[in-house]
A and B are shown apart, each in its own frame.
Chain A
Amino acid sequence: MILTSIAIFLISAAALALEVVLVRVLSIGHWHHFSYLVISTALLGFGSGGTFVAVGPKALVRNYAKSLWGFSLALGVSVPFVFWICQKVPLDELQLIWDRRQILYLFAYYMLFFIPFFCAGVCVTIAFTACAEKAHSLYFYNMAGSGAGVAAIVAMMYLCRPEQLLLLVSSVAFASAMILAFGTSRRLAAGTLACAAICLLVFSRAGPLALEIDISENKSLTFYRALPEAENLAVRHSPLGRLDCIKAPTIRHFPGLSMTYRGGLPEQILIITDADGISAVNNFKDFEDLGCYDYMTSALAYHLKKEPDVCVIGAGGGSDVAQALALNAASVTAVEMNSQTVDLVHEQLNEFASGLYRRDDVEIITAEGRSFLQRTKRLFDIINISLLDSFSASAAGLYALNESHLYTIEAIKLALSRLRPTGLLSITRMLKTPPRDSLKAFATITEALRSAGVADAAEHIIMIRSWATATIFVSPRSFSEGQIAAARRFARQRCFDLVHLPGIDRKDTNQFHVLDEPIYYESVQKILSADRDVFFRRYSYNIRPATDDRPYFFDFFKWKALPYMIRAVPGRWLPFSEWGYLVMAATLLQAVCASGLFILLPLVVTKPIKAVASGKSATFAYFFLLGLSYMFLEMGFIQKMTLLIGHPVFGVAVTLLSFLVFSGCGSLVSGRLLKLAKRTNGGYQSSVRAVQITALAVVTIGIGEIVIMRFWFGPLVGLSLPARLLVGLLITAPLAFFMGIPFPTALKQVHRHRRPLVPWACGINGFASVTAAVLGMFLAISLGFTVLSLIALTGYVLAAIIVRRVVA
């Protein structure tokens, strides 16, 4: 039994680690939208494992030690093999709408990724079915292994390339096979060792099938690497992304530079995150070399405020820091989350960057922007957030749809509170066709001003646009006449168009970069008006302000606009819609179909399950509710912990680690207690009571924690990082502890009274998780994370009501 438990620990660790690594690998090679593919494939694989054991040969469970050995060995081999084959599939996701072959290639990805997760799922289900009496203990090893897998792989991401991590995952699976083989025979152990050695050698860097991420040719890195004399100066890996440092004489990254600029441009090195996110490092002798930065829309801030103390959020390679200094900033506080980016500019590129990050007037803070603003007590003259896109949990590899805690009403209010009375918050966005994210930013700012008690928001905002970018400036105080005149002068001299400033008239707009209609001006006037709700409702995209509870600034999709788009542009509407949302919808559809098929299949096919006379619907409902609710709560807490801890990777890691490990502990402790309290009817009463008490505890603690996070959030965020990590653990641990009890408790009773339903129950739980992973995201986007958590708590209450029929 102990060997099986250790093997399950290792297999669970390998499976979860594989999920995280695959998301990372696909974010580099393709885009983060593939997270859904991986998450749903992983959970589908787990669930299918349950079904396979239910309908498959009985020998699988009878000879469970050999079966476990076989499938764990298959897991070890399949991890690198599947990845290697995937890199040979010419998937070009951007061609999906035109090239039908791409659907086939995407399906090939799906099927290939399914294999290792299926092997892991079979292993776990076999163990639960064969050793159901030890369900509590096994559940502990299962959960603890998963938690350890996530924590270890996130830590290893700082040390290894993703390709190496795949081999590491494979090694863990082989280790599990070795342990099981030792329990059977020495020959088997020797064979396993040989197989593992060959596999790892073949797929190693020196081997004939070396693993290498094939980066999509549609990503920026492919283009920049192909430039003449391009050099890749450095590659860094971390959970926050892969960084490539590209130097080429022809690189010029100055988004939205005015067409009136006639001077020279400084030489640049690009730091490219995950092969696509670009940040520039400038080479300059003195600040006169950076004259071009005065010809960008964001430069207006430095014409409105002289010698300011500046805070740059998302400093990256330092372009905005250089701009601030070139335009006479007194001091710059540069906040950058990725320590490796800071390290590159500070160390390796220091000479090229003209010592930018080592200057006395520049202070570098390695922190997430929102978190820094929350904790700092300093006040600034200018806070600059330029072209900074979301860096969310998606980058850490889980639950992607670009949550952003920087572009919410609460974040804007916070930023405004860190400004001196006449200070400025400057936000720059790229223009999109049709207009959406600059309008959403404007709407969010307007709402933040209103909720901060500003009566006339229009007097506090200036917005200008170039041919490619738009910048919004917000001040806690109304802009003075002098500032307004300076803004008009600045825009006219650089051929930038005014979108909004106090006292603006329609004829002042749309003069230099001409649109058919002054759509930006008209839209912001409607956002500022009292009937803005009508405008938000009628606009083709979702440009309602984002909030902390629904932090999806980058979600612009509206279902009701979809039929119009399809009618208006038959066959070609997709580029106008929002890919992320549609990919997620497709994943949910697929997840529901697959779940339905695989849950119903055993009912139709397997005689033993068909033979069970009663309790099937209750079993279905109970385990489905548990799977759904567990996942929903986990997602809700990941979001809250990310905000609290102020770092997406640590937020996700702490939450997952805490949920998985403490759920395992809950299972283990409850198993012992139930054993002691065993009464008549095979522990029926104590099981029912245990689940009911658990549900009560989960609901009480859950609601308590939602309240704590809502009202005590400010003081908690002010703590140091270790303290916040500890608080994060303390908040999630008790909840997770109780959440670990209902599943093994009921499973044990099902094993006693309706043994054939055990693998089926595992499968249902797995499939509920598949659906919940995507459905939860839909609910979070449309209803918010608080409602999502409340739905999950209701699920636990319902499960407590049903449990009597499950264990009877």
Chain B
Amino acid sequence: MAEEHPTARKKKWLVAVSFLAVFALVIVFGPGRLVRPRFSFASQDDKADPNNATEQELKKSAENKPPRPLHTHRSFSERIHQRQMMVARQIRARDVQDANVLAAMRTVPRHAFVRGRDLRRAYYDHPLAIGYGQTISQPYIVAYMTESLKLDPNSTVLEVGTGSAYQAAVCAEIAREVYTIEIIEELAASAKSRLKELGYTNVFARAGDGYYGWKQKVPFDAIIITAAAPLVPPPLIEQLKPGGRMILPLGSPYGAQTLVLITKDDKGKIRSKSLLPVRFVPMIGHVTKADQSPEK
């Protein structure tokens, strides 16, 4: 067999080495860009923050005309078309019909509640991670949960699990006041500053253990637990007004969730209902009818 010419062999080696060098560069320097960006929110002046108001101040403010979201932040005038499309395609198309909820979803700038690296995907039809194992829910879930609570302008809402505060902001567009508690201090701090920056003066957020609710403001017309919990805290059931509604998710935020709706009748009797599976309405007809074949 003829031996390969040395120059040709050299060329081959040169090509191979160049390829390896490029690959090594991509591997070494690529991940530098892939590393999660460090993300922090600007620190806020705590004294000016309505969320730091004392109980007396809160009481006083509640006696006056209820504050409303200001809508003056520039985020409200950004990406309006995307919000309208989100409502039309992801929410209305799935049978969320409450006009107040749809208006709230059109108003709240979701992109102001996500991490910098997810800005582009803020209005996509799925949840996004916000750190600490928490997520900002899929827009449809937020709308569906809000609609299930049947809020009106006089409602007082308790939210357990502030997360990014997006759900609180949506509720605040409809309800009179929203009280929201986040157990992870870092998330609570960033949510507070974000709410303040966006002008949500009727949302009161604090870091704490949501298990005990917000005793000073009981009873609540509606309670929303946004993180999947292994138990429904007994104190929260007690803090729910007769005739009130509580909603919480069961299951993984990325998988198939079941929303559980708990109602308390006028006599204080508790009932719960699975609104399953909320995310994919077409599935209901299939899987809940156990004897129905996929081929049918």
A residues in contact (CB < 8 Å) with B: 57, 85, 88-90, 92, 94-95, 97-99, 105, 108, 111-112, 217-220, 222-223, 226-228, 249-250, 252-257, 259-263, 431-435, 467-468, 495, 512-517, 519, 522-523, 526, 535, 538-540, 558, 560-561, 563-565, 568-569, 572-573, 575-576, 607-608, 611
Set of chain B residues within 8 Å of A495, measured between Cβ atoms? 270, 272
Nearest neighbor of A514 in chain B, beta-carbon distance? B273
Q: How far is the CA of A575 from the CA of B283 in the complex (A)?
A: 12
Given A228-B207, A433-B276, A540-B287, also A98-B126 (CB < 8 A): yes
Contact of B133 among A105, A217, A254 (CB under 8 A): A217
Contact of A253 among B230, B290, B295 (CB under 8 A): B230
Whether B280 contacts A572 by the Cβ 8 Å rule is yes
Question: Is the C-beta of B185 less than 8 angstroms from some C-beta in chain A?
Answer: yes
Question: Is the C-beta of B184 less than 8 angstroms from some C-beta in chain A?
Answer: yes
Nearest neighbor of A215 in chain B, beta-carbon distance? B133
Whether A538 contacts B293 by the Cβ 8 Å rule is yes
Whether B185 contacts A228 by the Cβ 8 Å rule is yes
CB distance from B255 to the nearest CB of A (A): 4
CB distance from B89 to the nearest CB of A (A): 12
Q: How far is the CA of A528 from the CA of B118 in the complex (A)?
A: 50
A-B residue pairs, 4 tightest by C-beta = A434-B287, A223-B133, A564-B294, A257-B231
Q: Which of B207, B286, B287, B295 has the most CB of A within 10 A?
A: B287
Contact of A569 among B126, B250, B280 (CB under 8 A): B280
CB distance from A793 to the nearest CB of B (A): 36
Whether A608 contacts B124 by the Cβ 8 Å rule is no
Given A223-B134, A254-B230, also A513-B294 (CB < 8 A): no
Contact of A261 among B13, B211, B230, B234 (CB under 8 A): B234
In the complex, how many residues of chain B place their beta carbon closer than 8 angstroms to a beta carbon of chain A?
Answer: 66
Q: A218-B254, A433-B256, A572-B280 are in contact. List 15 more A-B contacts (CB 8 A).
A: A88-B35, A94-B254, A98-B121, A226-B132, A228-B184, A252-B211, A252-B231, A259-B270, A432-B256, A514-B271, A564-B294, A565-B283, A572-B279, A576-B283, A607-B1
Selected A-B contacts with CB under 8 Å, 13 pairs: A88-B35, A227-B183, A431-B258, A434-B283, A434-B288, A467-B272, A467-B274, A516-B288, A522-B291, A535-B290, A540-B294, A572-B279, A576-B277
Whether B34 contacts A88 by the Cβ 8 Å rule is yes
Set of chain A residues within 8 Å of B1, measured between Cβ atoms? 607-608, 611
Whether A512 contacts B271 by the Cβ 8 Å rule is yes
CB distance from B45 to the nearest CB of A (A): 23
Whether A255 contacts B34 by the Cβ 8 Å rule is no
What is the count of residue pairs linking A and B with beta-carbon distances less than 8 angstroms?
186
Contact of A92 among B121, B129, B230 (CB under 8 A): B129
Given A256-B230, A539-B290, also A220-B133 (CB < 8 A): yes
Q: How far is the CA of A384 from the CA of B287 in the complex (A)?
A: 30
Q: How far is the CA of A563 from the CA of B254 in the complex (A)?
A: 21
Set of chain A residues within 8 Å of B30, measured between Cβ atoms? 108
Q: How far is the CA of A516 from the CA of B274 in the complex (A)?
A: 8
Whether B34 contacts A223 by the Cβ 8 Å rule is no
Q: Which of A249, A261, A608 has the most CB of B within 10 A?
A: A261
Whether A254 contacts B231 by the Cβ 8 Å rule is yes
Q: How far is the CA of A611 from the CA of B186 in the complex (A)?
A: 68
Whether B36 contacts A90 by the Cβ 8 Å rule is yes
Q: How far is the CA of A616 from the CA of B233 in the complex (A)?
A: 70
Set of chain B residues within 8 Å of A522, measured between Cβ atoms? 290-291
Whether A575 contacts B254 by the Cβ 8 Å rule is yes
Whether B34 contacts A538 by the Cβ 8 Å rule is no
Whether A517 contacts B293 by the Cβ 8 Å rule is no
CB distance from A428 to the nearest CB of B (A): 13
